[in-house]
Chain A
């Protein structure tokens, strides 16, 4: 168990962003929240949300149905027993419709840091993303780096045959993340949907 925890910590720390270095702009709660809404739309797209489910099973497909085969998260987010993610999901997408997509880091967030997107309102998700206790211990700079540079996050824009892309490009997405944080990292109001 200690080993698994160590690996999880390691995989987060692999992002090499300086902990407290990110661009800032004058505080602008409306502008910040507006940028977050663009970020939110990407995070709630099937390519991102399917691996940030509310339950312990990943989701599949553009309709975000529960993954067939009764797949479960497991402690490290990589599945359990003979249903480990990497038993089917390779380091790269398998060619063809309905073939397993792939990435070297394929998996869900771990059980102790579930980072649920599914069902979260914009405000809930924004607050969650900013909370190091819920975001994998990331500073704002690390959060930007994760969104902009992480390889598994980047898979969403190379999802393999037959899968729709998030609603904007990755650079545009990363720009909106930076903007959201630069303008003060405001969470949209509770009424925002």
Chain B
């Protein structure tokens, strides 16, 4: 079953008949930040680039075009849940299809920065309410009654006094001829029937019977399979290769060298094309390649961290933010904390390895794949192939995890250049080892944090980071600090502590790095919140009480109280360690408490994790809980189970046997709570990750007195 394919065909067929459907969308003029509402009976109407986000057909069925990817975060459920609420239809009557890449139509489509809901929900609400009002207006006109006597419910407009009823499908022809109202009244939160409810995800059935189509599952007629041996040392070149054995492998049809531009340099490799994935992989194993590595990166992990430390001990770095005079306050402190915290390089390791199907046909190219940013891929392919964006069709499938890696542009481009050589559609499949060793990686970052305490109060905090800057791979600009230097740090501290500074000590090396779930907050959080715990202890205060005394804004106070209540912080059990951490990223604040104890064999066991998420207005609490649970487990892996290390410029980890993942027997029970408030919606997919590792190591400190300042660490050897 290819739900999206079938729906797309229906969609095209129906929409070619003008006047039989109501289509509403938000028009994003190029370069405009704010969307403008538009409606038309005919989306192909000249002059109007209408993003048909929502379409109601004469049978009353609603079709949504989801402009964002579904990579597990739940847009497939939460977007329809928003629409059905204001449109007053049954959720079951809302169908959803993935949009193709087009920035002109949809604006930014990057599924990243935890932005799917937070950046679009207001538009979605307004869009749906507008359609509802137009349908009510159409019904009122048919009955010749005032609109105030009509209301919408379950896909129908009802005339209250008479009980007369029109199904939406009966109204779309009339409604589509109306001008959309300029203002619509949105429902109050107390009136919501769907929003805020833990409704079941509509993509679950497809994911329990094997019918959900991920990138790797995409098939197009005549498609071949390819596997690419790329230089294991990034940026290295090919000296020579011998494909005579590879070509003898049954099923192998073609072997050729490819080169492509990645990270501002050429990447070289040999593509083996075959009639099955296995044959391509076997052919690849039979290749004999001599690489030219001269002049390319031969770095070792130990050198990276040694350099970080040296920089942090000798350089002030580029100032990112500063208030007061932390150096002066440090000089006159009663007590000081000065510590370095280190975090590892990480691979994204989504369960679905990178892959992409491409079909290059000269004046047009089409790709299908697990793609987080279809609009970026469209733009990149158009540029690289000298085509107009409209000649490039980018189709999103379900993503088997993304975590940032599938927002990069290299793998669709690689598939396209292989298809171009073959003049046939091809699926390029990365092996797990390719996916793990080729990067880009989350950068390992080191932090030096200094704090001053005078008369029992914090007088200064001085933070410096040293680590690769993501912004630098596209063109180094070392004059500016990393724009995420203070990410994860709670802003209210700036109000209660006079002297605070953040600086980035530039550190560069050529291995590619990029965003990974929660980006720099994932590493900053460990540095800053471990340090906060050390400060609390230095000040002789309870760690949660310490935070309460410096985070004076209402939302933080409420969150801390909730965290205290749900975790039983005040009645902590003896012989257990408790740790807490609170961070903020993508607008959301998350506090966590971790409880640990000693195992009989002397290791550390996590007994429980409590998380409190403040993400403002929200759609589906169960999806939020799932995202926080998942973020915590991803953080658990990065803190205790795996890292990417480099030896002579090569990653030392290859697959799950040396990049070990938390498994079901490794994970603690996790309890997630969501704050109720009137703030705008903020991010959900990532903010649950950063507080976990510091909360864990803070708990271990509470239990053992041992401070862990370097990740990852071995829970069995603390």
Contact = CB atoms under 8 A, between A and B. Distances in A.
Given A69-B663, A98-B654, 5 more contacts: A68-B657, A68-B660, A70-B663, A70-B665, A98-B657
Interface string A65-99: 00011100000000000000000000000000010
B115 to A, nearest CB: 36
B658 interface: yes
Contact of B655 (A69, A70, A98): A98
Contacts of A70: 663, 665
Interface of B: 654-655, 657-658, 660, 663, 665
Nearest to A61: B657
A38 to B, nearest CB: 32
A87 to B, nearest CB: 15
B671 to A, nearest CB: 24
A57 B277 CA distance: 35
Query: Chain A CB within 10 Å — which of B654, B657, B658 has the most?
Result: B657
Interface in A142-164: none
Contacts of B663: 68-70
Main secondary structure of the interface of A (DSSP, over half): helix
B360 to A, nearest CB: 33
Contacts of B657: 68, 98
A70 B660 CA distance: 13
Contacts, number: 10
A69 B665 CA distance: 8
Contacts of B660: 68
Nearest to A70: B665
A98 B665 contact: no
Interface of A: 68-70, 98
10 contacts: A68-B657, A68-B660, A68-B663, A69-B663, A70-B663, A70-B665, A98-B654, A98-B655, A98-B657, A98-B658
Contacts of B658: 98
Contacts of B655: 98
Nearest to A98: B657
A127 to B, nearest CB: 28
A98 B656 CA distance: 10
B229 to A, nearest CB: 15
Nearest to A99: B657
B83 to A, nearest CB: 40
Contacts of B665: 70
Q: Across chains A and B, which 9 residue pairs bring their CB atoms closest together, nearest first? A: A98-B657, A70-B665, A69-B663, A70-B663, A68-B660, A98-B655, A98-B658, A68-B657, A98-B654
Contacts of A69: 663
Contacts of A98: 654-655, 657-658
Contacts of B654: 98
A37 B271 CA distance: 54
Nearest to A96: B285
B150 to A, nearest CB: 57
B351 to A, nearest CB: 16
Nearest to B658: A98
B640 to A, nearest CB: 14
A119 to B, nearest CB: 14
A147 to B, nearest CB: 30
A140 B452 CA distance: 75
Nearest to A68: B660
A186 B351 CA distance: 55
Nearest to B664: A70
Contacts of A68: 657, 660, 663
Nearest to B657: A98
B258 to A, nearest CB: 25
A69 B663 CA distance: 7
Nearest to B661: A68
A98 B655 CA distance: 9
A99 to B, nearest CB: 9
A68 B660 CA distance: 9
B661 to A, nearest CB: 10
B312 to A, nearest CB: 34
A77 B86 CA distance: 59
Nearest to B665: A70
A98 B658 CA distance: 9
A70 B665 CA distance: 7
Nearest to B655: A98
A69 B664 CA distance: 9
A68 B666 CA distance: 11
A63 B663 CA distance: 21
A168 to B, nearest CB: 29
A69 B656 CA distance: 11
A94 B437 CA distance: 22
A68 B659 CA distance: 12
B560 to A, nearest CB: 37
A189 to B, nearest CB: 31
A82 B557 CA distance: 47
A100 to B, nearest CB: 10
Nearest to B656: A68
A98 B657 CA distance: 7
A68 B662 CA distance: 10
B599 to A, nearest CB: 13
B23 to A, nearest CB: 48
A132 B655 CA distance: 43
A179 B403 CA distance: 61
A80 to B, nearest CB: 14
A68 B658 CA distance: 11
A70 B657 CA distance: 14
B244 to A, nearest CB: 20
B432 to A, nearest CB: 11
A68 B657 CA distance: 8
A98 B433 CA distance: 12
A20 B134 CA distance: 96
B333 to A, nearest CB: 46
A124 to B, nearest CB: 22
A5 B106 CA distance: 66
A97 to B, nearest CB: 8
A70 B655 CA distance: 18
A73 to B, nearest CB: 16
A69 B660 CA distance: 10
Nearest to B660: A68
Nearest to A69: B663
B6 to A, nearest CB: 34
A93 to B, nearest CB: 15
A68 B655 CA distance: 13
A88 to B, nearest CB: 12
Nearest to B666: A70
A98 B652 CA distance: 14
